[in-house]
Structure 1
Amino acid sequence: MPMMVRVYIRSVLIGAALACCFVAALLALDVGHLRHLILNSPSGWLALCMLVFFNAIVFAGVQFAIVVMMQAETPPSTGRRAWILRPRMVAVPQRSVARAGRK
């Protein structure tokens, strides 16, 4: 499996976990009387599922963006790419050229 697919799947799982924690905190603190609305509505389970799903999309997107942006700052440390991209310091021999005015 390619590396970016693994990173994306991991980001989705982390986003889903964060969304569940966030929705649980919203319901525990009864922000905007959401707990009352969800528990007393006949279709409250649908509202709960939508709340978790859409928050998971947002948190997964943010998580994936953070991981991708952090990869751009760190150059590869091993392998052929690191060897090619590493600047080499090479001593260049200089020939001494006598000036026309000096003898």
Structure 2
Amino acid sequence: MPRLVRLYIKQVAYGFVLSAVFVGMLLGFNVANLRHLMFATDGGWIAGFMLFFFNGLVFAGVQFAIAIMRMADPEDKGPKGGHRAPVRQGQLIPIRIRADDRR
């Protein structure tokens, strides 16, 4: 298996573990009375699963982005900013418009 795919799978697993911790803390601290709402409703487990799953997707994406950005060389001394073309300064020219021309 390529290293990048292995890195991606590992970061996705970390993201879903973070999501489980996050949802557990949300329910444990009963933020916005969410625990009562989920346990008192018939389909509350669906809301819990969706909360876990979609937070897992977000956290996995963030974990993978951080891992990729940390792979850069710390001593990257390449060109910074590039060459900028001079901005052309134009002259403003007044344009007369006839006000009595109605449609």
Q: Normalization by structure 2: what TM-score?
A: 0.70
Partner of 2:71, secondary structure, is: helix
> Any idea what SS the aligned residue of 1:72 has?
coil
Map residues 15-94 of structure 1 onto 2, 5 A cutoff.
Answer: 15-74=15-74
After TM superposition, which residue ranges in structure 1, 4 or more long, deviate above 4 angstroms?
Answer: none
What's 1:80 paired with?
none
Moved more, 4-13 or 66-75: 66-75
| 1:13 is aligned to 2:13 | yes
How far off is 1:73 after superposition?
A: 2.9
The runs of 5 or more residues in structure 1 that have no matched partner are: 76-103
- What is the CA-CA distance between 1:32 and the residue it aligns to? 0.7
Q: Using the alignment, how far apart are the partners of 2:33 and 2:58 within structure 1?
A: 22
How many matched pairs? 75
Q: Which amino acid aligns with 2:6?
A: R
Displacement of 1:72 in angstroms is: 1.4
Q: Which residue of 2 aligns with 1:91?
A: none
| Structure with greater helix share of residues | 1
**Alpha-carbon displacement from aligned partner over 1:40-65 (angstroms, at most 9, x marks no partner):** 00000100000000000010000000
Shift of 1:74: 4.8
Following the alignment from structure 1 to structure 2, what is the Cα–Cα distance between the partners of residues 10 and 16? Answer: 10
- TM-score normalised to structure 1 length: 0.70
Identity of aligned residues (%): 49
Q: Matches of 1:61 and 1:20 in 2, distance apart?
A: 15
